[in-house]
Amino acid sequence: MKLLPGFIAVLTLSSAISLSASAAEKPITIQIDQQQLKLTTGAPLNDGHAILVPMRPIFEKLGLSVVFDAKTSTITATKEGLVIKLQLGSKNASINGIVKPLQTAPKMIKNVTYVPIRFVSEATGNHVVWNAAARTVEITSLQATDETASVADFFSKYVKYSNEESYDGFMSLIDSKSPLAQIGPQLKQQFETYNLKVSVDQLNIVDAKTNEVTVHTIETTEKVSGPFMPNSQMEYIYSLTRSSKDADWKISNLQLQAVKYSLPEGALTAAVTVPKADEDAIKAVFAANMDYTNKEDLDGLMSTIDESSPGYEQNKIVAAQLFQAYDLQGTVESSKVIDYTGDTAALYTVQSIKKLKGPQFQDNRSTTVTTLKKTADGKWKLVQSYPLSSEPLK
């Protein structure tokens, strides 16, 4: 079962209710061993699948010589014992002759060749983390550590206790002096409500000292049973500490770097029986939420959200800031109830947001799944929204 991190994710990333228009995003920066990479030919780009950067600065900073063959559109970067080849428009690259797939192909933009930074950095033996809050790609030189086995054993316990729903076992992994130790009551509630399956898909030690390590993970969570919850892939930075070299590791701090939600297979096509009156009321409250957002009516907007939902007060602050900075127009293009239990529901929506006035903002079309519940007086209210995808509007 997905425990502590999943709960924190709900509190920090999933609390915004249908406020899919965000403030103007900060420029993306690149840091290599805590030093910012200077880019003079073009800024980093996020195409929705990967961060792209100008080819020459990143290769040269990582110690490679680079040659571009204009006839074949081939990029060749080399240093002792390493040959990396990429080609404009191709999602296949190679490292020392071994073909590797790319999420995004290299491309030419305004006569500048851009390459996917994660592939390039990891191909050269470095560790890469996307710091979503700071909009920074953090590249760190990896160093061998003799703590690899003990850290791997710690995360094996983490997965075991999570999936077995062992409250005592999982709490034993947390430093009792850490604020995270206060998560106990919420943890028990999650045990009672959900049965989730967690896996640690990637595990890298970023930094290691005698009794302290920093660990980067990518983890996947899938619901087995319980109320509606989308699947998620989350990226974390853990701080693990221990009292002595022979003592067990404990979680002393945890940072959620990024999250990607997805629907279980077949969720959009499954037949869901919903009384017409409830279906109309569910769609109507979501539409009202969007309408109040367009009118910048803060009280009206908050009236559509359940007061007990995670981040209710945070939503109010974010909405007030949004209204002050922008004049935006949102449109619900389509909606469908994909889960219904009588007093809870999940609504899948496609919506577009366009800027009318305000600072730089990318008009976009997004898909979202929002959970709702019926209150004691029979009204439907929004509880949580999970962003699934977003694409820029042309």
- Domain boundaries in the chain? 4-12+144-262, 39-125, 276-392
Residue with tokens 């939600």: 261
Structure tokens belonging to residue 281 = 């009321």
Neighbours of 167 (CB within 10 A): 15
Q: Which residues pair with 130 in a beta bridge?
A: 137
User: What is the per-residue pLDDT for 299?
Assistant: 96
Residues 123/66, Cβ–Cβ less than 8 Å: no
User: What is the per-residue pLDDT for 2?
Assistant: 35
Cβ partners under 8 Å of residue 156, min gap 6: none
User: What is the per-residue pLDDT for 88?
Assistant: 95
Largest CA distance in the chain: 71
Neighbours of 191 (CB within 10 A): 16
Structure tokens belonging to residue 309 = 């939902």
Residue with tokens 């890298």: 204
Residues 142/127, Cβ–Cβ less than 8 Å: yes
How far apart CA 172 and CA 166 sit, in angstroms, is: 10
Q: Which residues pair with 352 in a beta bridge?
A: 331, 365
Residues 185/210, Cβ–Cβ less than 8 Å: no
pTM listed for this prediction: 0.69
User: What is the per-residue pLDDT for 146?
Assistant: 60
User: What is the per-residue pLDDT for 242?
Assistant: 94
Residues 9/380, Cβ–Cβ less than 8 Å: no
CATH of 39-125, one of 3.30.457.10, 3.90.1150.10, 3.30.413.10, 1.10.1060.10: 3.30.457.10
Task: Say whether 39-125 and 4-12+144-262 share the same fold.
Answer: no
Residue 130 parent element (H or E): strand 126-131
User: What is the per-residue pLDDT for 145?
Assistant: 53
Query: Which parts of the chain sit beneath pLDDT 50?
Result: 1-24, 144
Class (C level, CATH) for 276-392: alpha beta
For 39, the 3-state DSSP assignment is coil
**Helix %, strand %, coil % for the chain, to 5?**
25, 40, 35
The H-assigned helical ranges of the chain are 4-12, 55-61, 117-123, 148-164, 167-171, 184-193, 276-295, 298-303, 312-325
Backbone angles phi, psi at 344, to 5 degrees: -135, 155
Q: Which residues pair with 353 in a beta bridge?
A: 330, 364
How far apart CA 273 and CA 159 sit, in angstroms, is: 35
Q: Which residues pair with 174 in a beta bridge?
A: 251
Backbone angles phi, psi at 124, to 5 degrees: -95, 15
Neighbours of 213 (CB within 10 A): 22
Residue 182 DSSP symbol: G
How far apart CA 68 and CA 31 sit, in angstroms, is: 25
How far apart CA 35 and CA 81 sit, in angstroms, is: 26
Neighbours of 101 (CB within 10 A): 8
Structure tokens belonging to residue 128 = 């890469």
Please name the CATH architecture into which domain 4-12+144-262 falls: Roll (3.10)
User: What is the per-residue pLDDT for 14?
Assistant: 37
User: What is the per-residue pLDDT for 122?
Assistant: 87
User: What is the per-residue pLDDT for 21?
Assistant: 39
User: What is the per-residue pLDDT for 58?
Assistant: 93
How far apart CA 38 and CA 43 sit, in angstroms, is: 10
